[in-house]
């Protein structure tokens, strides 16, 4: 549907689209800039090494993120080539790219936890069952939500905008889908912290305490940082369940939406790939240190058994 109007009552919405566009460009630029910063690491730690599931997941998350950023910019910039069909496709593409990337990040976390728990089959089965259940439930909500969202072309006071028409509980369903993602992330964090605490209790030898410190340091810099960003994204998404935000066009609501459009791509497409790069870089350093007799390799996520195949994180 195309809406053409010169009514001054649309001016606040025009301003809202412009402000949102600034945030979208900022977040997309940050994603591409991070890719440029880490391309050297990517080349050494991914492209020049044996292919594995983690390598495929890394490349999927990283380059889907770039496509997402480009699509996000195109949908936010005013242009006469935008149609209602294009608006619908871009929104659905962004929604499903977000869903797929979060699913891939979930697989990465399963692999990390499986390694931390010494490749326990029971733990792997538990993680897979919980993850699949929550992911399927999340997918159902996303599918129901996107089916009720239609794009529309807005020609407002001579400007061309990409707008959306939300039918029924479409917006509510999209934000409620984050409940399932949040449950998974909280579970993954609790399991990761628990195994660290368990190692602290089991390894009481003074000579090994600093090794645990290195292990915990890697966890803190990757998993906990990633979870913190995810928690922020979840809080902002769940905040939209409040009618004061979802139905408001105030400056505060615009800034709220803009911040969400920055931290969500950062969580998925910046911290997500760094989950893999940090551990792979740690493993490379660990190989060099173990050759000097430091013994750090004895606890590096129990990955020594499959180091040669490149199948670890």
266, two tokens: 């950062």
179: left (phi over 0), alpha (psi -120 to 50) or beta: alpha
Cα-Cα-Cα-Cα dihedral sign, residues 32, 34, 35, 36 = positive
pLDDT at site 103: 93
173/184 Cα distance (integer angstroms): 18
pLDDT at site 156: 60
Q: Is the pTM of this model over 0.75?
A: yes
Closest to 164 in 3D by CA, of 91, 110, 240, 55: 91
Q: 193-220 pLDDT, tens per residue?
A: 887 777 767 655 554 444 555 555 666 5
* Rounded percentage of the chain residues whose pLDDT exceeds 90: 21
Q: 252-281 pLDDT, tens per residue?
A: 777 888 888 888 898 889 988 888 887 777
Angstrom distances, CA of residue 23 to CA of 53, 54, 73, 240, 299:
33, 31, 10, 18, 42
Reduce the secondary structure of 132-145 to three states and give it as a string: HHHHHHHHHHHHHH
Rounded (10°) angle between helices 84-116 and 121-147? 170
Query: Could you give the 3-state DSSP secondary structure of residue 168?
Result: coil
* Domains of the chain in sequence order: 2-306 (1.20.1070)
Q: Residue 118 pLDDT more than 60?
A: yes
137/103 Cα distance (integer angstroms): 12
Question: What is the helix, strand, coil percentage profile of the chain, to 5?
Answer: 75, 5, 15
Cα-Cα-Cα-Cα dihedral sign, residues 173, 179, 180, 182 = positive
Higher pLDDT, 109 or 244: 109
188, two tokens: 């993954």
Q: Residue 10 pLDDT more than 80?
A: no
Round the CA-based radius of gyration of the chain to a whole number and report it.
Answer: 22
Q: 35-78 pLDDT, tens per residue?
A: 999 999 899 888 988 888 888 999 999 999 999 988 888 777 66
Average pLDDT, the chain: 76
């Amino acid at each position: 549907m195309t809406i053409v109007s010169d009514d001054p009552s649309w001016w606040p919405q025009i301003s809202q689209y412009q402000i949102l566009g600034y945030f979208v460009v900022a977040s997309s630029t940050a994603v591409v800039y991070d890719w440029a910063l880490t391309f050297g690491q990517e080349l050494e730690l991914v492209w020049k090494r044996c292919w594995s599931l983690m390598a495929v997941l890394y490349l999927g998350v990283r380059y889907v993120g770039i496509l997402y950023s480009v699509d996000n910019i195109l949908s936010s910039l005013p242009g006469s080539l935008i149609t209602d069909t294009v608006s619908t496709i871009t929104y659905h593409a962004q929604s499903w790219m977000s869903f797929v990337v979060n699913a891939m990040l979930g697989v990465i976390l399963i692999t990390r936890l499986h390694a931390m728990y010494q490749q326990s089959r029971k733990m792997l089965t538990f993680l897979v069952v919980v993850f699949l259940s929550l992911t399927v439930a999340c997918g159902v909500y996303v599918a129901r939500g996107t089916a009720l969202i239609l794009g529309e072309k807005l020609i407002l006071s001579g400007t061309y905008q990409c707008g959306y028409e939300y039918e029924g509980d479409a917006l509510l369903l999209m934000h409620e889908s984050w409940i399932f993602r949040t449950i998974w992330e909280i579970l993954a964090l609790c399991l990761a912290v628990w195994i660290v605490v368990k190692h602290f209790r089991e390894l009481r030898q003074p000579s090994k305490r600093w090794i645990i410190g290195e292990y915990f340091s890697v966890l803190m810099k990757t998993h906990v940082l990633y979870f913190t960003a995810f928690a922020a994204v979840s809080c902002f998404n769940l905040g939209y369940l409040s009618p004061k935000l979802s139905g408001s066009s105030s400056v505060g609501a615009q800034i709220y939406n803009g911040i969400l459009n920055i931290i969500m791509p950062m969580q998925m497409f910046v911290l997500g790939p760094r989950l893999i790069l940090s551990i792979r870089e740690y493993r490379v350093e660990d190989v060099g240190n173990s050759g000097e007799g430091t013994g750090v390799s004895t606890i590096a996520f129990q990955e020594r058994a499959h180091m040669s195949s490149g199948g670890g994180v």
